[in-house]
Amino acid sequence: MTPPESANAAPPRVSAIIIFLNGERFIAEAIESVIAQTFADWELILVDDGTTDGATAIAQRYAAGHPDRIRYVEHPNHENRGMSASRNAGIRVARGEFIAFLDADDIWLPRRLEVHVAALDANPDVSMTMAPTLLWSSWDDSAAQRKSRWMRSDYATELGLPVGKVLEPPIVAIGFLESHGGNVPGICSLLARRADVLAAGGFDDRFRTLYEDQVFFFRMALRYRILVIGGVLDYYRQHPSSACHAAGGAAGDLQMRPIFLEWLQDHMIDGGFKSRRLWRAFRGEMWRFDNPRLHRWMTAPRRLIDAWNVSTRRLVITVLTPRLYNWMRRKFRLSVVDVENVH
Protein backbone atom coordinates (compact mmCIF):
# COMPACT_ATOMS: atom_id res chain seq x y z
CA MET A 1 0.00 0.00 0.00
CA THR A 2 1.08 3.58 0.52
CA PRO A 3 4.49 3.87 2.21
CA PRO A 4 4.87 6.28 5.13
CA GLU A 5 6.26 9.71 4.33
CA SER A 6 8.86 11.66 6.22
CA ALA A 7 7.31 14.38 8.34
CA ASN A 8 9.97 16.80 7.07
CA ALA A 9 9.63 15.90 3.40
CA ALA A 10 8.80 18.93 1.29
CA PRO A 11 5.78 18.39 -0.96
CA PRO A 12 6.53 18.04 -4.66
CA ARG A 13 5.43 20.70 -7.08
CA VAL A 14 3.55 18.23 -9.32
CA SER A 15 1.38 15.28 -8.38
CA ALA A 16 1.00 13.00 -11.40
CA ILE A 17 -1.94 10.59 -11.18
CA ILE A 18 -2.21 7.40 -13.23
CA ILE A 19 -5.41 5.40 -12.80
CA PHE A 20 -5.56 1.88 -14.16
CA LEU A 21 -7.94 -1.02 -14.59
CA ASN A 22 -5.81 -3.86 -15.92
CA GLY A 23 -3.47 -2.76 -18.72
CA GLU A 24 -0.40 -4.81 -17.86
CA ARG A 25 0.69 -4.46 -21.49
CA PHE A 26 1.14 -0.67 -21.31
CA ILE A 27 1.38 0.58 -17.72
CA ALA A 28 5.16 0.24 -17.35
CA GLU A 29 5.68 2.44 -20.41
CA ALA A 30 3.37 5.09 -18.95
CA ILE A 31 5.23 5.05 -15.62
CA GLU A 32 8.60 5.20 -17.32
CA SER A 33 7.47 8.27 -19.27
CA VAL A 34 6.89 10.04 -15.94
CA ILE A 35 10.25 8.93 -14.57
CA ALA A 36 11.91 10.30 -17.73
CA GLN A 37 10.58 13.85 -17.24
CA THR A 38 13.14 16.66 -17.45
CA PHE A 39 11.19 18.40 -14.66
CA ALA A 40 12.13 16.32 -11.64
CA ASP A 41 10.03 17.73 -8.79
CA TRP A 42 7.10 15.33 -8.98
CA GLU A 43 5.37 12.50 -7.20
CA LEU A 44 3.48 9.73 -8.97
CA ILE A 45 0.28 8.25 -7.55
CA LEU A 46 -0.82 4.94 -9.06
CA VAL A 47 -4.53 4.33 -8.40
CA ASP A 48 -5.69 0.74 -8.91
CA ASP A 49 -9.37 0.57 -9.92
CA GLY A 50 -9.86 -3.12 -9.21
CA THR A 51 -7.32 -4.60 -11.61
CA THR A 52 -7.46 -8.34 -12.26
CA ASP A 53 -4.34 -8.78 -14.41
CA GLY A 54 -0.64 -8.25 -13.80
CA ALA A 55 -0.82 -4.44 -13.79
CA THR A 56 -1.26 -4.44 -10.00
CA ALA A 57 2.03 -6.24 -9.47
CA ILE A 58 3.79 -3.92 -11.91
CA ALA A 59 2.48 -0.83 -10.11
CA GLN A 60 3.40 -2.20 -6.70
CA ARG A 61 6.88 -3.04 -7.93
CA TYR A 62 7.46 0.53 -9.10
CA ALA A 63 6.13 1.89 -5.79
CA ALA A 64 8.45 -0.40 -3.84
CA GLY A 65 11.40 0.59 -6.02
CA HIS A 66 10.76 4.36 -5.68
CA PRO A 67 9.17 4.75 -2.23
CA ASP A 68 10.12 8.43 -2.01
CA ARG A 69 8.37 9.35 -5.28
CA ILE A 70 5.81 6.71 -6.30
CA ARG A 71 2.80 5.59 -4.27
CA TYR A 72 0.33 2.79 -4.89
CA VAL A 73 -3.32 3.39 -3.89
CA GLU A 74 -6.39 1.18 -4.25
CA HIS A 75 -10.04 1.32 -3.24
CA PRO A 76 -11.18 -0.64 -0.17
CA ASN A 77 -11.36 -4.38 -0.87
CA HIS A 78 -9.73 -3.77 -4.26
CA GLU A 79 -13.07 -2.56 -5.63
CA ASN A 80 -13.74 -1.20 -9.10
CA ARG A 81 -15.34 2.25 -8.67
CA GLY A 82 -14.77 3.82 -12.06
CA MET A 83 -12.48 6.43 -13.55
CA SER A 84 -13.87 9.48 -11.75
CA ALA A 85 -13.74 7.90 -8.29
CA SER A 86 -10.21 6.69 -8.99
CA ARG A 87 -8.97 10.12 -10.09
CA ASN A 88 -10.63 11.66 -7.04
CA ALA A 89 -8.84 9.11 -4.86
CA GLY A 90 -5.54 10.24 -6.37
CA ILE A 91 -6.41 13.91 -5.87
CA ARG A 92 -7.23 13.31 -2.20
CA VAL A 93 -3.76 11.96 -1.41
CA ALA A 94 -1.88 14.32 -3.75
CA ARG A 95 0.50 16.77 -2.10
CA GLY A 96 1.69 18.76 -5.11
CA GLU A 97 0.97 22.36 -6.03
CA PHE A 98 -0.14 21.12 -9.45
CA ILE A 99 -2.14 18.10 -10.61
CA ALA A 100 -1.52 16.21 -13.85
CA PHE A 101 -3.22 13.09 -15.18
CA LEU A 102 -1.94 10.29 -17.38
CA ASP A 103 -3.87 7.21 -18.42
CA ALA A 104 -2.06 3.91 -18.09
CA ASP A 105 -1.99 3.27 -21.84
CA ASP A 106 -0.69 6.74 -22.81
CA ILE A 107 2.70 8.42 -22.46
CA TRP A 108 4.21 11.83 -21.83
CA LEU A 109 7.13 13.18 -23.82
CA PRO A 110 10.14 14.11 -21.63
CA ARG A 111 9.53 17.89 -21.54
CA ARG A 112 5.82 17.63 -20.87
CA LEU A 113 5.87 18.75 -17.23
CA GLU A 114 8.68 21.24 -17.74
CA VAL A 115 6.74 23.18 -20.36
CA HIS A 116 3.42 23.19 -18.50
CA VAL A 117 4.91 24.13 -15.12
CA ALA A 118 6.85 26.99 -16.73
CA ALA A 119 3.62 28.28 -18.29
CA LEU A 120 1.75 28.30 -14.97
CA ASP A 121 4.71 29.85 -13.16
CA ALA A 122 4.79 32.64 -15.75
CA ASN A 123 1.03 33.17 -15.41
CA PRO A 124 0.08 33.00 -11.72
CA ASP A 125 -3.49 34.13 -12.53
CA VAL A 126 -4.04 31.04 -14.74
CA SER A 127 -5.48 27.89 -13.17
CA MET A 128 -4.97 25.34 -15.93
CA THR A 129 -2.92 24.75 -19.05
CA MET A 130 -3.89 22.47 -21.89
CA ALA A 131 -2.32 21.41 -25.17
CA PRO A 132 -3.02 19.28 -28.22
CA THR A 133 -2.30 15.59 -27.95
CA LEU A 134 -1.15 13.11 -30.55
CA LEU A 135 -3.63 10.39 -31.49
CA TRP A 136 -1.06 7.64 -31.55
CA SER A 137 -1.64 4.70 -33.87
CA SER A 138 1.87 4.01 -35.15
CA TRP A 139 2.82 2.24 -31.89
CA ASP A 140 1.09 -0.86 -33.31
CA ASP A 141 3.19 -2.42 -36.05
CA SER A 142 0.97 -5.46 -36.50
CA ALA A 143 0.15 -6.86 -39.92
CA ALA A 144 -3.40 -5.46 -39.76
CA GLN A 145 -2.11 -1.97 -39.07
CA ARG A 146 0.53 -2.14 -41.80
CA LYS A 147 -2.14 -2.74 -44.44
CA SER A 148 -3.54 0.78 -44.08
CA ARG A 149 -1.42 3.89 -43.80
CA TRP A 150 -4.48 5.60 -42.27
CA MET A 151 -4.78 3.05 -39.47
CA ARG A 152 -1.11 3.54 -38.59
CA SER A 153 -1.17 7.33 -39.00
CA ASP A 154 -0.57 9.69 -36.08
CA TYR A 155 -2.08 13.15 -36.01
CA ALA A 156 -2.50 15.91 -33.48
CA THR A 157 -5.86 17.02 -32.12
CA GLU A 158 -7.06 20.57 -32.75
CA LEU A 159 -8.31 22.64 -29.81
CA GLY A 160 -9.55 25.56 -31.91
CA LEU A 161 -8.32 28.07 -29.31
CA PRO A 162 -5.58 30.72 -29.55
CA VAL A 163 -2.20 29.61 -28.24
CA GLY A 164 -0.43 31.61 -25.57
CA LYS A 165 -3.35 33.89 -24.71
CA VAL A 166 -4.94 33.85 -21.26
CA LEU A 167 -8.57 32.89 -21.82
CA GLU A 168 -11.13 34.24 -19.39
CA PRO A 169 -13.98 32.02 -18.22
CA PRO A 170 -16.28 30.82 -19.61
CA ILE A 171 -14.90 31.15 -23.17
CA VAL A 172 -13.25 27.72 -23.21
CA ALA A 173 -16.48 26.11 -22.00
CA ILE A 174 -18.34 27.95 -24.76
CA GLY A 175 -15.86 26.64 -27.30
CA PHE A 176 -16.40 23.07 -26.08
CA LEU A 177 -20.17 23.46 -26.57
CA GLU A 178 -20.01 25.23 -29.92
CA SER A 179 -17.77 22.48 -31.29
CA HIS A 180 -20.17 19.78 -29.95
CA GLY A 181 -17.38 18.51 -27.71
CA GLY A 182 -15.00 18.06 -30.60
CA ASN A 183 -12.28 20.32 -29.22
CA VAL A 184 -12.08 18.88 -25.70
CA PRO A 185 -8.42 18.12 -24.94
CA GLY A 186 -7.10 14.80 -23.76
CA ILE A 187 -6.96 14.38 -19.99
CA CYS A 188 -3.23 13.65 -20.28
CA SER A 189 -2.55 17.07 -21.86
CA LEU A 190 -3.38 19.43 -18.99
CA LEU A 191 -1.88 20.74 -15.77
CA ALA A 192 -4.02 22.36 -13.06
CA ARG A 193 -3.47 24.04 -9.72
CA ARG A 194 -4.52 21.57 -7.04
CA ALA A 195 -6.24 24.21 -4.90
CA ASP A 196 -8.48 25.17 -7.84
CA VAL A 197 -9.18 21.52 -8.69
CA LEU A 198 -10.36 20.96 -5.12
CA ALA A 199 -12.42 24.16 -5.10
CA ALA A 200 -14.12 23.18 -8.38
CA GLY A 201 -15.02 19.74 -7.04
CA GLY A 202 -12.73 17.51 -9.08
CA PHE A 203 -14.52 14.67 -10.84
CA ASP A 204 -18.07 13.39 -10.37
CA ASP A 205 -18.08 9.75 -9.22
CA ARG A 206 -21.37 9.12 -11.04
CA PHE A 207 -19.54 9.30 -14.39
CA ARG A 208 -17.63 6.04 -14.30
CA THR A 209 -16.19 6.04 -17.84
CA LEU A 210 -17.49 8.24 -20.66
CA TYR A 211 -17.70 12.00 -20.10
CA GLU A 212 -15.89 11.83 -16.78
CA ASP A 213 -13.22 14.09 -18.33
CA GLN A 214 -15.74 16.60 -19.66
CA VAL A 215 -17.32 16.99 -16.22
CA PHE A 216 -13.89 17.97 -14.93
CA PHE A 217 -13.12 20.24 -17.89
CA PHE A 218 -16.37 22.15 -17.54
CA ARG A 219 -15.98 22.55 -13.79
CA MET A 220 -12.60 24.16 -14.43
CA ALA A 221 -13.41 26.06 -17.65
CA LEU A 222 -16.53 27.69 -16.23
CA ARG A 223 -14.60 29.16 -13.29
CA TYR A 224 -10.94 29.73 -14.10
CA ARG A 225 -8.53 31.25 -16.58
CA ILE A 226 -6.93 28.77 -18.98
CA LEU A 227 -3.84 28.96 -21.18
CA VAL A 228 -3.38 26.86 -24.32
CA ILE A 229 0.14 25.60 -25.05
CA GLY A 230 1.19 24.91 -28.62
CA GLY A 231 2.90 21.69 -29.56
CA VAL A 232 2.30 18.03 -28.75
CA LEU A 233 3.77 16.81 -25.46
CA ASP A 234 1.81 13.58 -24.92
CA TYR A 235 0.64 10.59 -26.93
CA TYR A 236 -2.89 9.19 -26.67
CA ARG A 237 -2.66 5.55 -27.67
CA GLN A 238 -5.31 4.25 -30.09
CA HIS A 239 -6.30 0.63 -29.52
CA PRO A 240 -9.51 -1.43 -29.34
CA SER A 241 -9.16 -2.33 -25.64
CA SER A 242 -9.10 1.30 -24.45
CA ALA A 243 -11.72 2.48 -21.96
CA CYS A 244 -13.49 4.52 -24.64
CA HIS A 245 -13.77 1.56 -27.00
CA ALA A 246 -14.86 -0.73 -24.19
CA ALA A 247 -17.66 1.72 -23.32
CA GLY A 248 -19.08 1.59 -26.82
CA GLY A 249 -16.98 4.07 -28.77
CA ALA A 250 -18.93 6.63 -30.78
CA ALA A 251 -22.28 4.94 -30.08
CA GLY A 252 -21.69 4.99 -26.34
CA ASP A 253 -20.53 8.59 -26.55
CA LEU A 254 -23.72 9.63 -28.33
CA GLN A 255 -25.84 7.83 -25.74
CA MET A 256 -24.04 9.48 -22.82
CA ARG A 257 -23.95 13.04 -24.16
CA PRO A 258 -27.58 13.94 -23.24
CA ILE A 259 -26.93 12.62 -19.72
CA PHE A 260 -23.83 14.79 -19.50
CA LEU A 261 -25.73 17.83 -20.83
CA GLU A 262 -28.44 17.34 -18.20
CA TRP A 263 -25.70 17.33 -15.58
CA LEU A 264 -24.17 20.46 -17.10
CA GLN A 265 -27.49 22.30 -17.10
CA ASP A 266 -27.97 21.64 -13.38
CA HIS A 267 -24.36 22.57 -12.70
CA MET A 268 -24.64 25.91 -14.50
CA ILE A 269 -27.90 26.74 -12.74
CA ASP A 270 -26.53 25.81 -9.31
CA GLY A 271 -23.34 27.78 -10.02
CA GLY A 272 -25.21 30.88 -11.15
CA PHE A 273 -23.45 31.12 -14.52
CA LYS A 274 -25.23 33.80 -16.56
CA SER A 275 -23.25 34.36 -19.76
CA ARG A 276 -25.78 34.70 -22.57
CA ARG A 277 -23.42 33.18 -25.11
CA LEU A 278 -22.76 30.24 -22.81
CA TRP A 279 -26.46 29.50 -22.41
CA ARG A 280 -27.09 30.03 -26.13
CA ALA A 281 -24.36 27.50 -26.94
CA PHE A 282 -25.77 25.09 -24.38
CA ARG A 283 -29.32 25.36 -25.74
CA GLY A 284 -28.05 24.87 -29.28
CA GLU A 285 -26.28 21.67 -28.26
CA MET A 286 -29.19 20.38 -26.15
CA TRP A 287 -31.77 21.15 -28.84
CA ARG A 288 -30.64 18.33 -31.12
CA PHE A 289 -31.23 15.81 -28.34
CA ASP A 290 -34.53 17.31 -27.20
CA ASN A 291 -35.88 17.35 -30.77
CA PRO A 292 -34.31 14.35 -32.52
CA ARG A 293 -36.93 14.05 -35.28
CA LEU A 294 -36.91 17.76 -36.09
CA HIS A 295 -33.13 17.83 -35.95
CA ARG A 296 -32.97 14.88 -38.33
CA TRP A 297 -35.38 16.59 -40.74
CA MET A 298 -33.55 19.92 -40.65
CA THR A 299 -30.17 18.28 -41.20
CA ALA A 300 -31.40 16.04 -44.03
CA PRO A 301 -29.81 18.21 -46.76
CA ARG A 302 -26.45 18.05 -45.04
CA ARG A 303 -26.71 14.29 -44.63
CA LEU A 304 -27.59 13.91 -48.31
CA ILE A 305 -24.54 15.93 -49.26
CA ASP A 306 -22.42 13.79 -46.96
CA ALA A 307 -23.79 10.64 -48.54
CA TRP A 308 -23.16 12.04 -52.01
CA ASN A 309 -19.58 12.90 -51.13
CA VAL A 310 -18.69 9.65 -49.42
CA SER A 311 -17.08 8.23 -52.55
CA THR A 312 -15.09 11.45 -52.95
CA ARG A 313 -13.86 11.25 -49.38
CA ARG A 314 -12.82 7.65 -49.92
CA LEU A 315 -10.90 8.72 -53.00
CA VAL A 316 -9.18 11.48 -51.04
CA ILE A 317 -8.23 9.05 -48.29
CA THR A 318 -6.83 6.66 -50.88
CA VAL A 319 -4.81 9.27 -52.78
CA LEU A 320 -3.61 11.63 -50.07
CA THR A 321 -1.30 10.79 -47.22
CA PRO A 322 -2.78 11.22 -43.73
CA ARG A 323 -0.33 14.03 -42.94
CA LEU A 324 -1.33 16.00 -46.06
CA TYR A 325 -5.03 15.37 -45.55
CA ASN A 326 -4.96 16.65 -41.97
CA TRP A 327 -2.88 19.67 -43.02
CA MET A 328 -5.51 20.52 -45.64
CA ARG A 329 -8.30 20.06 -43.11
CA ARG A 330 -6.65 22.47 -40.70
CA LYS A 331 -5.76 24.92 -43.44
CA PHE A 332 -9.19 25.25 -44.99
CA ARG A 333 -11.78 24.15 -42.43
CA LEU A 334 -10.57 24.89 -38.93
CA SER A 335 -12.24 27.90 -37.30
CA VAL A 336 -10.80 29.29 -34.09
CA VAL A 337 -13.29 30.02 -31.32
CA ASP A 338 -14.18 33.72 -31.02
CA VAL A 339 -12.63 34.62 -27.66
CA GLU A 340 -13.68 38.26 -27.65
CA ASN A 341 -17.48 38.08 -27.67
CA VAL A 342 -18.05 36.08 -24.50
CA HIS A 343 -21.15 37.69 -23.03
- What confidence tens digit (pLDDT) does each residue in 161-220 have? 999 999 999 999 999 898 766 678 889 999 999 999 999 999 999 999 889 999 999 999
Query: Residue 7: its pLDDT value, please?
Result: 45
Q: How far apart are CA 332 and CA 324, in angstroms?
A: 12
Task: Output the pLDDT for position 243.
Answer: 55
Closest CA to 21 of 107, 104, 108, 136: 104
Neighbours of 94 (CB within 10 A): 23
206 vs 137: which has the higher pLDDT: 206
Beta strand 42-48 with 14-20 is parallel
User: What are 42-86's pLDDT values in tens digits?
Assistant: 999 999 999 999 999 999 999 999 999 999 999 999 999 999 999
Cα dihedral sign for 128, 134, 136, 138?
A: negative
Would you say residue 245 has pLDDT above 50? no
| 27 touches 103 (CB < 8 A) | no
For residue 140, pLDDT over 80 is answered with no
- pTM higher than 0.85 for the full model? no
Please give the pLDDT value at position 312. Answer: 63
Residue 223 has pLDDT above 90, yes or no: yes
For residue 137, what pLDDT band results from cuts at 50, 70 and 90?
Answer: confident
Residue 2's pLDDT is: 45
Query: Residue 342's closest CA among 199, 197, 161, 164?
Result: 161
Q: pLDDT category, 319, cuts 50, 70, 90? A: low
Q: Parallel, antiparallel, or unpaired for β 107-108 and 234-237?
A: antiparallel
Decide if pLDDT at 149 tops 60: no
What distance in Å separates the CA atoms of residue 208 and residue 281, rounded to the nearest whole number? 26
* pLDDT at residue 108 greater than cutoff 80: yes
- The answer to whether 126 and 225 are in contact (CB under 8 A) is yes
Q: What's the chain's average pLDDT?
A: 85
Using 50, 70 and 90 to split pLDDT, how confident is the model at 308? low
pLDDT value, residue 52: 97
Domains delineated in the chain:
105-293 (3.90.550)
